Structure 1
Amino acid sequence: MSTFPQPLLDALAEDPRRTVLEHGDRKVSSGELLATVRRMVGALEENGLGRGSGVAMLTGVSPEAFAAYLAAAVAGCRVIGVRPGYPPNQLRHVLTTGVDVLVTDGPTIYGRTITVAELADGPRRDLDPAGGPDDVARLIYTSGSTGTPKGCMQSYEAMSHHWSWAPDMWDDDTRDLAGHGERYLLFGTLASAVVQDYVVLALHSGGTAVIPAVDEPLPYAIQRYGITGTILNVPRLYQFLDILRARDVDTSSLSGMVVAGSPLPPHRFKEAVDRLGPVVYQAYGQSETGNLTLLTPAHIETHGPDILSSVGRPHAHVDVAERDGELYVRTRYAISGYWADDEETADLLADGWVRTRDLGHLDERGFVHLTGRARDVIIVNATPYYAGPIEAVLAAQPDVDQAYVVGAPDELTGEAVHAFVVAAPDRVPFDDALRGAVLDALGQACVPKTITLLSEVPVANSGKPDKHALRDSLR
């Protein structure tokens, strides 16, 4: 097994003339990318940075930024992607925890800073991956939705057995997905491990990563650049479908689109398939585990529409177990723990298994179904009720497009259920009908005390629906 990131270096070296990145009018060949990486490795070395150094990345999406991530990995650094949008206290925590230098697009006021341009002006060095198996390759910070962001430590050993970075680990579903990366739309933030993992899948398979104009709506970017594959979260899919309902946009070049970040309700999954054709994949994973499952168009064709309630089949190198309704997983590319947080690590890891804190089960065909979050609990009259099943009942109603449930303090019951819904196109949900559906399915304690109609759901920096904002709106 080659040491991370050697397999990608080898793939890029196979054809130095191949275009691997497009950014506006720029076309960057694999040879040019590798030359930039060599100079960046030299610049890191000149600055005393190498194996074990903490290198934080606060950059936009560009060929040079991608090269900086790859160079830091070659040098054996602990690479820390910094997501945009952290509030000041959380950003301070991320940038002062095990960070030796901050790489940016331009000068900042934080400590020791090197710009991407300065890195690209370094002396050339050979590309010999320096990371040791137990060294931390990536420190992936969580969104901070539960307070202080946690740093997920993914070792060089784990990355060397990674589901997308190591082609020797690819199973049939991964190879199928990789086949749609001929022109892959690279957007969002490179600080996201998910963004990195999927673009690397495309590069490994001979594709080109296309960086669109900033804030260009996704359907128009697909049409403009002839995109064949991309990944997006559920809120972005909803925006995508809203545009397609109102505009005639040609997305026929698209052959593989992955939806990830949170479960997609079956009726919205079906709408996406009906509008786009058999090109929609659903993926499930976590910062702590990486991608775990994939639901493919072939699965849907084989098993029929009822399979849309699942998040797919585990990858070949992923084991899934159910313990008291909660899912535990085991894979060689999972994290080794949280940075400087032994207590949370002990709560996460158990005898080689990772506690997902997601509720769900495996069906008889080997597909994973999620039913809620173990911590997404509302205590009504001293009895816990999970938000997921309530949301599923509401989202299944014909007048509802999206549904989200939170708990809030209540003088009579301790906590009460509060629902937020987005109406289906040209429909008007009636509160009594929605409450009746929940009553019939789940009982009185789960019936929402309030139902708020939204035009759109607020989205957190992680790209997921912002339940903290919804809860705060009740005050």
Structure 2
Amino acid sequence: MPAFEHGGRAVTRGQVLTLIAGFVRGLRGAGLSAGSRVALDTGVTPEAFAVRVAAHVVGCQVVALRPGLTPEHLRDILARDVDAVVTDDAASRPELVAQAGDVPLLDTGGASWPPAPVTPGPADLTARGDRDGIGVIHLTSGSTGRPKGTMVTYGALSEDWALQPARWTDRTRRLAARYARFLLFGTLSSAVMFEHVCLSLLGGGTAVIPDQPLRFPEVFADHRVTACMTTVPRLYAILDAVRERAVDTSSLRALVVAGSPLAPHRLTEAAELLGPVVHHAYGQTETGMLTVLEPEELAADPGLADSVGRPLDTVEMTVRDADGRDLPTGRTGEVWVRLADAFSGYWEDPRETAEVLRDGWVRTRDLGRLDARGYLRLSGRTRDIVIVNAVIHYAGPIERVLASHPDVDQAYVVGVPDDRTGEAIHAFVVPQPGTAPDPDALRELVARELGEACVPARVAGLTEVPVAPSGKPDKAALRALVMGR
């Protein structure tokens, strides 16, 4: 089975190793060695995968540049002692060339770099990374200012739940078996996407890279895709398409949904329309995947539709109060996790690092509760709040109450400045097909379930939810709608 299918060509595992060896020699020939900092500005191709692996073999600190960085953010990142930038098409990236300045630029699409493919030798494929050294820095969106970078050491990478087949648990093996033809799209700079494509490849599967633009859900049948990672907004679009017209999704074995809250009724509907393939997962860039709800678990107990499953066997999880004390089973608090492959800190941000990393534990800053069987139910973000008259209100509970109304498909809550109360609660709802939710009825529902103080000042309807570059619902855009920007 080939490692990649891309642009009408099949790339074997042997050919991938040859590519990696060539890039290893090219990086070393450019003067790079263990500890060198290399920024990768590459697309989604077998070559892009190979050059990242080659950088790890050399032992570089890989800075995974994500698509959509502003010129200011790009300039800021490249000014942080970057030793080289690797791109796959410098001619189409004038802003990258301009911001790189004196930083050496290595173009994989150029005529002279990397050197011609070579037969791999032991020196080409022997990893040189320092276990305590930084292996990769994944960048956040920068929506609140300077993009944060989550630093992962080579030691943590070697412990990653997906990257060591000899240590796979039964759940990991079950997932890998479904990844025979994994849909690879979007970006390889994503920590989650890279983790899951490696799961497919290490399990003997093929990473299928389709032509652009993608057509969901037709892409599944077009390429006989068995597995795909998707965001909640994309899942909703897939379900809308399946309801409206005949769509062949029979090749799917795993549709892994993650990134933002998924309403229980939509998870139930997805299982009904797509069959026993939907996996509801939860994780963070800082930690990788933390929990997963398998379709067989949901089928056996439909009451789990409001959970994100159980922690992976490599994850220790607890729920704590505001003072960091463990809470009893069933109580809601902040989710804390401990795992060998977690990040080691934020790039050049010791204050944020000290806030999140505590004695070997990672504060997720997500709110949730664990039941007696270990299933996690999330209830919001500790920072996704609206402060009304100096009282904190979490957006998550209000969103869940609104989404529980039979006329509401999706619900989102944001806080906006208010002269009288400091901030005010504003809600947006996407109606169920053929319905028109009554704002007053929705406010009454919130008052009845959560109290008058949680009632939104305004409830507005939406036909389509704005989506951020990360694929998650864009609350900044929703807030701008309220403020008239």
TM-score normalised by structure 2 residue count: 0.92
Which residue matches 1:175? 173
Q: CA deviation at 1:218?
A: 2.4
Determine helix, strand or coil for the equivalent of 1:426.
Answer: coil
Which residue matches 2:115? 121
* Alpha-carbon distance in structure 2 between the residues aligned to 1:241 and 1:301: 19
Which residue matches 2:147? 149
State the identity as a percent: 52
* Mapping for residues 407-422 of structure 1, pairs under 5 Å: 407-422=415-430
Q: CA deviation at 1:165?
A: 1.1
Which residue matches 1:381? 389
Q: CA deviation at 1:27?
A: 0.5
* Alpha-carbon distance in structure 2 between the residues aligned to 1:360 and 1:380: 22
Which residue matches 1:311? 308
User: Are residue 460 (structure 1) and residue 468 (structure 2) matched?
Assistant: yes
Which residue matches 1:7? none
The one-letter amino acid paired with 1:84 is P
Confirm or deny: 8 A CA contact 1:162 1:169 kept in the other structure.
no
User: Are residue 399 (structure 1) and residue 407 (structure 2) matched?
Assistant: yes
Q: CA deviation at 1:262?
A: 1.2
The one-letter amino acid paired with 1:379 is I
Determine helix, strand or coil for the equivalent of 2:178.
Answer: coil
Confirm or deny: 8 A CA contact 2:413 2:428 kept in the other structure.
yes
Confirm or deny: 8 A CA contact 1:105 1:117 kept in the other structure.
yes
Q: Work out which of the residue numbers 89, 113, 126 in structure 2 matches 1:106.
A: 89
Confirm or deny: 8 A CA contact 1:36 1:120 kept in the other structure.
no
The one-letter amino acid paired with 1:58 is D
Determine helix, strand or coil for the equivalent of 1:463.
Answer: coil
User: Are residue 423 (structure 1) and residue 444 (structure 2) matched?
Assistant: no
* Alpha-carbon distance in structure 1 between the residues aligned to 2:398 and 2:167: 38
Which residue matches 1:203? 201
Which residue matches 2:45? 62
Determine helix, strand or coil for the equivalent of 2:109.
Answer: helix
User: Are residue 446 (structure 1) and residue 444 (structure 2) matched?
Assistant: no
Q: Work out which of the residue numbers 459, 475, 480 in structure 2 matches 1:472.
A: 480
* Alpha-carbon distance in structure 2 between the residues aligned to 1:96 and 1:471: 32
Confirm or deny: 8 A CA contact 1:20 1:207 kept in the other structure.
yes
Determine helix, strand or coil for the equivalent of 2:124.
Answer: coil
Confirm or deny: 8 A CA contact 2:418 2:424 kept in the other structure.
yes
Determine helix, strand or coil for the equivalent of 1:126.
Answer: helix
Confirm or deny: 8 A CA contact 1:184 1:210 kept in the other structure.
yes
Q: CA deviation at 1:120?
A: 4.0
Which residue matches 1:91? 74
* Alpha-carbon distance in structure 2 between the residues aligned to 1:442 and 1:169: 45
Determine helix, strand or coil for the equivalent of 2:125.
Answer: coil
* Alpha-carbon distance in structure 2 between the residues aligned to 1:168 and 1:135: 24
CA deviations on 1:184-233 (whole Å, 9 max, x unpaired) are 11111011011101111011111011001112122111010111111111
Confirm or deny: 8 A CA contact 2:19 2:117 kept in the other structure.
no
The one-letter amino acid paired with 2:372 is E
Q: CA deviation at 1:414?
A: 1.7
* Mapping for residues 33-432 of structure 1, pairs under 5 Å: 33-107=16-90, 108-109=97-98, 110-111=100-101, 112-118=104-110, 119-122=113-116, 124=118, 126-302=124-300, 304-324=301-321, 325-432=333-440
The one-letter amino acid paired with 1:157 is G
Q: CA deviation at 1:427?
A: 1.7
Q: CA deviation at 1:309?
A: 0.7
Unaligned residue ranges in structure 1 (runs of 5+):
1-17
Q: CA deviation at 1:363?
A: 0.8
1:334–1:52: structure 2 CA closer, same or farther, 3 Å change rule? same
Unaligned residue ranges in structure 2 (runs of 5+):
91-96, 322-332
196-205 vs 292-301, greater mean Cα deviation: 292-301
* Alpha-carbon distance in structure 1 between the residues aligned to 2:81 and 2:258: 30
Paired residues, number: 457
Determine helix, strand or coil for the equivalent of 1:230.
Answer: strand
CA deviations on 1:312-334 (whole Å, 9 max, x unpaired) are 11011111111111111000000
CA deviations on 1:153-189 (whole Å, 9 max, x unpaired) are 1000001010111123322221111111111111110
The one-letter amino acid paired with 2:308 is V
Confirm or deny: 8 A CA contact 1:263 1:311 kept in the other structure.
no
TM-score normalised by structure 1 residue count: 0.94
The one-letter amino acid paired with 1:428 is A
* Alpha-carbon distance in structure 2 between the residues aligned to 1:64 and 1:469: 35
Q: CA deviation at 1:100?
A: 1.5
The one-letter amino acid paired with 2:319 is E
